[in-house]
Structure 1
Amino acid sequence: MQTCRAFLNALARNGARAAVALLVALLCALQAWALWRAPPAWLPATIKVMLAPGESVTLGRHELAAPQADPAHVLLRRDASGAWMLTNLSPSRQVVLQNEGGERRMGSATVQDMRAFQINDRRFTIEQSSTGSVAFSMAGQHWRYDGATLYRDGQLQPPCPDARLGARLMAHWNRWAPALLTVPHPLTFGGNLHCANRLGLPDVTPGAARLAREDGQLVLSAGNPDGAPAAVQALRDGESADLRRQEVPLASVRAIIVGHTRFSLAIAGNELAMTPSRRIALYSMPQARLPAAVEWRWQLRDLWHGDGDRIVAATLAVGAAGLCLVFAIRIAASLAARLASRFAARFSTRFAAPIAARRAGRFVPDTRSLAATGIHWRTAPQWWSVSCLLAGGAAALVLQRAGHPPSAASALLLACCALAMGLLAPGRLSPPFAAAVILLAAGLLAQLELGLGADESSWLRYYQKSAAMLAVGTALATACRLAMGSLASHLRQRGVEWLLMLLAAVALAALAAQVLWGDETGVFDLQPVELAKLALTALTAHCLALRFGWQRGPHDSPGRAMRWLQLAAPALLFLALLGLALVQVDDYSPLILLLVWSTSMALAYAAAARNGKLAAALALLVLAVIAAIAWLRLAGTDDLIRWGFYADRFLVWLNPAEHPHTGQQLLLGARAIADGGWWGADHLSGLRTLGQPLGAVLRIPAVQDDFAPSFFLNRHGLAAGLLLWTVQAAFVTGIAVTAAQRLAAADAARHHRAAWAGRWAYFALCGGAAFTLGHFLLSWGTNLAIFPIMGQPMSFLSAGGSHLLFFLCPLLALVGASAPSSEI
């Protein structure tokens, strides 16, 4: 009976694992099918402009195949001597020039060597200038600007009436911080109001010109006002240059960026060859109406071959060959061991004494060396595959950053290898981990559909970046799980604390770098806030685990003051995240995300401490928030006008039809969801339109990020959306169940270290599940108009490489390491 029950349990476990693997393989096969069915798309490989001396031509969005450019963006001409000259005609979008010395924007000039500058008829005389500050005067008033703060006659200006709390905090910081630590804040000209970093000029549109710190220098540039642009002139030694009509020679320019499309330049006599890269318009046929001076050389978009395919394929091939070699050695070693055992059994009679001594317990083999040898042979193939997958993912990221990305087929191969490693990772395949692998495969499919169906070449970069990030993250997570077994017995609690403090220091430094050199989209193409969320979760879990071990800990535990100092460390990180949300981000979604996380961690603490009063208070708080949202939905908009801070977000949420401009995302997203219905826009759950053009759904702002659920429901329908919700709920619930099991194991542990490890895993899993749940709630609430518009990507589905690499993959590693005894 027991044998039959064990057989049925093993069959159920293997059947569940096979079902998960089959579903993931099906989603990967759909990605390959989408690649195969993608229609041909044409784009210009080279744009040639042929001009004789004295001739000129106007180029814009159509002639340059640059979707983000203006209809008439630049003017190319040749002067009498035959030199090529470039003029920016766009009133709102600048052109970037790249040469050996770096890059600079047209329509801008450094103020260090200026005598004066003029905005319309207002002339400003520069009294003193350096790389870090400038002093100027106009109409008897003296101004000084240091790249962060504007002083009027030696005094700070009052804050603007519409300034948000974040802007006020940043201004207060810049007032007292050293010059090296100040946050760059541009000075804008125009309008009738003198406040903060605004210099009012009557009859001049606000933002008509700006003075900002860029690359360590103060740069004056023509702004992008909502109204009529103003003439901005730079005066040097009696010479005047209109920044809006600035004309530059192209002799030393290697590349230009027009509307986010980069063009490499090559001049040969009467011909200028421009090679476009990134964000190029795609055409269904190699035909376009062009001016007589412009000629295109067409090329077909290649989804199966890319510049970096050989490097990625070589790393994966080496990994596969190494795996085959290691497995062959293991099989040969196993056969040799069996032959040796049979040979020893035949001649056992000659060695009766050693056998009798061994049975009597006098002879004890060296189990340590055998165990070490077994562990080495068992993990060698896994370490080899981890290193090769990590090399392939890193190479793909570097190549994409260098402008030579691997093809979509190589990205698909990387993604399949990463998903396979996740399924075949050492240890138990727990239910939340299986749900995560399914969500990853579904998200990659949605991103590939978005890249193939867009009318611009750059949309595929989201899928390629996510696949590379997944490969790197999966390899690192698997390496951590492999090393955890050998390091667990050697790493003490003090060493863990040092590692956590190092992680927190790196996260704080990354947040500071984003404040100093980045914006709300991140810094250096990364989002440090994701690493900060991971550090906050890990550090908070450690401190709460210590809090429960105060009475049960060892006798040499730190005193009460040191304990509270340890508990204050996550509070500092929380305050840093809160400050970043207030200063750097334009919406309040990070505040809501932190509120969800804080409430969930308090509830986890109440459950661990068995504090029913605290749990009931938190439940009442959640119910009150739900009631407040319902009241806001029903109360109307009369009382919201006087809020001032985020009133526009609530007004758009309550009455999007009355705010068609700011409510564009909500209206277009709702229309896309309605068009999808239950079975998708093609009435076949999106199978009929795999890889085909997308149409109007591309007009949704941030459709690859915040509004990715609207795209998914449009393509695959509400039925597929319900399946996605089910898998997401299984992921969060599975993490919560795993955390509860770790807490139970910690309560039953007899050693302080084992109890601390169990409680740390409990709180870390709860924190990770809380952040993921917050992303799910905010994203679905935004797309379904349950909450006001808030910008948060959906975990696993949206194109968020930093969120995948710095948060989800470490969370999955922790889930895999904390898997319960029941496996699938």
Structure 2
Amino acid sequence: MPAPVADNLVARLRNVAGQHLGMAITLALLAALCALQVLALLRAPAAWLPAAIHIAPVAGQTVVLGQPELAAPHADRQHLALRLDPRDGWMLRNLAAARQVVVVRGGDEQRLGSSTLAPGAVFQVDGARFQVGAADAGSVAFTRSGRQWRYDGATLYRDGRAQPDCPDAHLSTRAQALWNRLAPGVLTIARPLAFGGNLYCGNRLGVERVAPGAALLARSHGRLQLAPGSADGERTAVLVDGRDLRRQEAALAGATALIVGHTRFRLSNNTSTLTLAPSRQVALHAASDLKLPATVTWDWQQRQLWRGDLGPAAWMLIAAAVLCVAGTAAVSRAGGAVVASLLLLLAGAGTLLAQRAGVSPGAALPLLLGASALLLWLFLPGRLALLTAAAVLLLAAGLLVQLEMGLGAPQTTWLRYYQKSAALLAIGCGAGGLLRLWFRHAAGTGRRLHQRTIEWLLAGFALVALAGLSAQVLWGDEGGVFDLQPVELAKLALAALTAHCLALRFGWHSDAPHPADQGARWLRLVAPALLFLALLGLALVQVDDFSPLILLLVWCVAMAFSYALLARQRLLASALLLLAVLAVAAIAWLRLAGSEDLVRWGFYADRFLVWLDPAGHPHTGQQLLLGARAIGEGGWLGADWWFGLRDLGQPAGDVMRIPAVQDDFAAAFLINRHGLTGAMLLWCAQATFLGGMALAARAAWRAGFAARNFRQAWSARFRYFALCGGGAFVLGHFLLSWGTNLAIFPIMGQPMSFLSAGGSHLLFFLCPLLAFSAAGAPSLEGE
């Protein structure tokens, strides 16, 4: 056989073997992770919860209900009092000092213990009396001792002038106060007015001999409402027209639902008996037997894991999606992939909407949905990339951990994280699959967008991200806005825009023949700087945490380093490496130096103090202490000494008490359940994913140097910088999450990519990044 023919045959055999070997290994590992999910469901013990709670008191008797009687995990031991009045029917009173009870009547919500101030009303905080002069939905004006006060939901004015900032106000608080004084009313950031204490500053109105925050006046559902404040001021009387808000009663006539401690109850009233049907967050019991007061009875029901509440139509839709995925895997045709992607997108959206409406999809349907989404991602037409295989395994591991949390927690709410992640994964994989197929079709037909069109699309993407950040500042909080995290979309937009600008930097003049054209382009390309400043401002103003600053710092260093490599600036690359080494040394120095010097710091000093001495701060250091205990119990082999296989599907115990264990401390749960051995396997998968990103970026780097025209060079360099930017954000999430769980860094709230139940992070950042990265990445095939 001639040498060229033999070499060609060997290359073909190596190509086929490499392709099938990589796919076979990935499928085997994915099947093992999905089988562990099925095994967890099979081994989950039976759990019981109340389907209905019946209350039938004796005439004239008041029934006190709390956490045990209501099966509400977040309710107080004595949370509310019910009595049957002969004239007014059922009457409800809130007994909790710091937790509210909400009565729902159609679309209106009444919070017990709060009151809307009307013109002419008199309210009283302990012995201090205030006369309301004018009041509407946007502001309230009142007087006391000759002083004129006006509060608009954001700023407190004393005799017509805004009060100065408090001496202990942080930079973020001062920035919010300045914005509220300058911005129009519709754009102001809501800040409550606190009564009590000895200071007249900011949004504090001092009241002598009254604890700070004894009463609060704040925006709630478009109205200004007065309510008792924190538990520290629970003995302070807050009266409106002589009525004590802490003793306020509400009639349940016409009410359709109650919300008590995050648990929602549907009401059914037949005069003599009140029936409450709990949903959302309901406590689970190992047996249908519980000692209850004589006036309270439960109708028990068993937790449904396999069936759920969705009808046959949902199962038929997902079954059709599974068949299309199987067909795509068998014949690898684009038509079947399009249909499978569309069906998965519809099934994921329907499951998510059903969950939002309070209809539980169970656990078997999300398991099938998540597995189908991951299989589709593997079998989409094209080469199997190394980063794609690693991402699929990381996503499967994340679903397994979230399912274990849902089955191991003593309440129903934890399973919704798994259900939501599976639904969002189906949406992301379906939409990402359609995007990948469209790019593949466009590349095959030679259809390309004009450079100006791409720039305007990126600018529009930046505007959407900025609008989302603005909405979070105006109407949201640290947890996001409208149950979303716009910062995840902003990170993706920042990575894309920066990649575009840096790609143009290396071939600017070839596509800009006139200086005026350059000026107009720079005017449009200022968007990355605006996005960066917006993210920085959000981190400083909205989030009481410095983890976004660290995340942006990691991204900045990575982008500067990638630029230095492409530009062959060795001095800059060396300086950045030295900066990284100094950062590691600074962390070690902080760990060894102790906490004496940190007491004088005014910026986030508390977090460093808790990190250095968690035992000395038992309340604020609870998360760190509980996480360390969970990791210690896990050891190398897991808490069950069988890598978590013996405890699969069983109750998780005290590890579920870690605050935000589903997000920031998901890694602590993993180590507790599967040991440090399981964590090392996860580290290997994470390192493989980052290595796949680096290989894809390297291939784009080489393509940029070999390009023959500006369009090809820009495309390759854009891909290079986008992969570096996206990989830097993922690396930052890995570093922050592992550093937080292992106490390397102070406590910082960032989810671990692929593992934590971060829905917005999965849908708005990871899935688009994976869709972009999968196209043209180095594959597991031989070349």
TM superposition score category, shorter chain reference:
over 0.9
- Of residues 9, 30, 49, the one that matches 2:55 is 49
1:743 is aligned to 701
Counterpart Cα distance in 1 of 2:19 and 2:329: 25
Verify the 8 A CA contact 1:98 1:254 in the aligned structure 2.
yes
State the AA in 1 paired with 2:102.
Answer: V
Shift, 1:54, TM fit: 1.9
CA deviation profile, 1:300-351 (whole Å, cap 9, x unmatched): 00101112253431212333566789999x9xxxxxxxxxxxxxxxxxxxxx
Report the structure number with the largest CA radius of gyration.
Answer: 1
2:3 is aligned to none
Mean CA deviation greater in 51-60 or 783-792: 51-60
1:266 is aligned to 268
- Please give the residue correspondences for 1:558-707 in structure 2 after superposition, counting only pairs within 5 Å: 559-707=517-665
Counterpart Cα distance in 2 of 1:327 and 1:58: 59
- Of residues 148, 152, 160, the one that matches 2:158 is 152
2:121 is aligned to 115
Q: Does 1:516 align with 2:516?
A: no
Counterpart Cα distance in 2 of 1:171 and 1:323: 54
1:194 is aligned to 200
Verify the 8 A CA contact 2:63 2:83 in the aligned structure 1.
yes
Structure 2 vs 1, CA of residues 475 and 777 (structure 1 numbering), >3 Å: closer, same or farther? same
1:84 is aligned to 90
Structure 2 vs 1, CA of residues 480 and 114 (structure 1 numbering), >3 Å: closer, same or farther? farther
Q: Does 1:786 align with 2:744?
A: yes
Q: Does 1:405 align with 2:363?
A: no
1:764 is aligned to 722
Structure 2 vs 1, CA of residues 558 and 419 (structure 1 numbering), >3 Å: closer, same or farther? farther
CA deviation profile, 1:132-157 (whole Å, cap 9, x unmatched): 11111112221111111111122221
Verify the 8 A CA contact 1:545 1:760 in the aligned structure 2.
yes
Verify the 8 A CA contact 2:386 2:779 in the aligned structure 1.
no
Counterpart Cα distance in 2 of 1:626 and 1:688: 39
Mean CA deviation greater in 409-418 or 95-104: 95-104
Mean CA deviation greater in 87-96 or 550-559: 550-559
Verify the 8 A CA contact 1:311 1:392 in the aligned structure 2.
no
Structure 2 vs 1, CA of residues 585 and 114 (structure 1 numbering), >3 Å: closer, same or farther? farther
Structure 2 vs 1, CA of residues 296 and 427 (structure 1 numbering), >3 Å: closer, same or farther? same
- Please give the residue correspondences for 1:105-184 in structure 2 after superposition, counting only pairs within 5 Å: 105-113=111-119, 115-184=121-190
CA deviation profile, 1:430-466 (whole Å, cap 9, x unmatched): 1111111110000100000000011011100000000
Q: CA RMSD in A?
A: 1.7
Shift, 1:18, TM fit: 0.6
Aligned to 2:781, what secondary structure does the other structure show? Answer: coil
Structure 2 vs 1, CA of residues 245 and 823 (structure 1 numbering), >3 Å: closer, same or farther? farther
Q: Does 1:494 align with 2:452?
A: yes
Counterpart Cα distance in 2 of 1:141 and 1:464: 55
Q: Does 1:396 align with 2:351?
A: yes
Verify the 8 A CA contact 2:64 2:82 in the aligned structure 1.
yes
Shift, 1:624, TM fit: 1.7
- Of residues 50, 73, 86, the one that matches 1:67 is 73
Aligned to 2:337, what secondary structure does the other structure show? Answer: helix
- Please give the residue correspondences for 1:327-366 in structure 2 after superposition, counting only pairs within 5 Å: none
State the AA in 1 paired with 2:707.
Answer: A
Counterpart Cα distance in 2 of 1:327 and 1:524: 38
* Aligned residue pairs, count: 773
Verify the 8 A CA contact 1:710 1:783 in the aligned structure 2.
yes
Verify the 8 A CA contact 1:205 1:229 in the aligned structure 2.
no
Shift, 1:486, TM fit: 3.2
Q: Does 1:476 align with 2:476?
A: no
Counterpart Cα distance in 1 of 2:372 and 2:159: 64
Counterpart Cα distance in 1 of 2:42 and 2:781: 36
CA deviation profile, 1:251-276 (whole Å, cap 9, x unmatched): 11100011111100000121111000
CA deviation profile, 1:110-140 (whole Å, cap 9, x unmatched): 1234512111111111122222111111122
Counterpart Cα distance in 2 of 1:818 and 1:210: 57
Shift, 1:227, TM fit: 4.7
Aligned to 2:534, what secondary structure does the other structure show? Answer: helix
Shift, 1:513, TM fit: 1.3
1:29 is aligned to 35
- Of residues 390, 401, 413, the one that matches 1:435 is 390
Aligned to 1:135, what secondary structure does the other structure show? Answer: strand
CA deviation profile, 1:22-67 (whole Å, cap 9, x unmatched): 1001100100110010000000100000124422210001110111
- Please give the residue correspondences for 1:222-371 in structure 2 after superposition, counting only pairs within 5 Å: 222-235=228-241, 240-320=242-322
TM-score (norm 2): 0.96
Mean CA deviation greater in 479-488 or 462-471: 479-488
Structure 2 vs 1, CA of residues 496 and 661 (structure 1 numbering), >3 Å: closer, same or farther? same
Counterpart Cα distance in 1 of 2:662 and 2:324: 37
Shift, 1:423, TM fit: 1.1
Structure 2 vs 1, CA of residues 535 and 295 (structure 1 numbering), >3 Å: closer, same or farther? same
Aligned to 2:557, what secondary structure does the other structure show? Answer: helix
Aligned to 1:77, what secondary structure does the other structure show? Answer: strand
- Of residues 387, 411, 416, the one that matches 2:371 is 416
Counterpart Cα distance in 2 of 1:511 and 1:298: 45
Verify the 8 A CA contact 1:685 1:717 in the aligned structure 2.
yes
Mean CA deviation greater in 756-765 or 315-324: 315-324
Aligned to 2:600, what secondary structure does the other structure show? Answer: coil
Counterpart Cα distance in 2 of 1:730 and 1:319: 30
1:453 is aligned to 408
Counterpart Cα distance in 2 of 1:548 and 1:323: 42
**Unmatched runs of 5 consecutive residues or more in structure 1:** 331-376
Verify the 8 A CA contact 1:418 1:470 in the aligned structure 2.
yes
Shift, 1:201, TM fit: 1.2
Verify the 8 A CA contact 1:124 1:136 in the aligned structure 2.
yes
Structure 2 vs 1, CA of residues 822 and 467 (structure 1 numbering), >3 Å: closer, same or farther? closer
Shift, 1:712, TM fit: 0.3
Structure 2 vs 1, CA of residues 114 and 770 (structure 1 numbering), >3 Å: closer, same or farther? farther
- Of residues 200, 206, 214, the one that matches 1:208 is 214
1:382 is aligned to 337
Structure 2 vs 1, CA of residues 630 and 76 (structure 1 numbering), >3 Å: closer, same or farther? same
Counterpart Cα distance in 2 of 1:514 and 1:428: 39
CA deviation profile, 1:183-213 (whole Å, cap 9, x unmatched): 1111111111111111111221211111112
Aligned to 1:148, what secondary structure does the other structure show? Answer: coil
State the AA in 2 paired with 1:258.
Answer: V
Shift, 1:92, TM fit: 0.7
State the AA in 2 paired with 1:805.
Answer: L
Shift, 1:394, TM fit: 0.1
Counterpart Cα distance in 1 of 2:599 and 2:235: 30
CA deviation profile, 1:558-603 (whole Å, cap 9, x unmatched): 6443343244210101111111111111111111111111111111
Structure 2 vs 1, CA of residues 321 and 699 (structure 1 numbering), >3 Å: closer, same or farther? closer
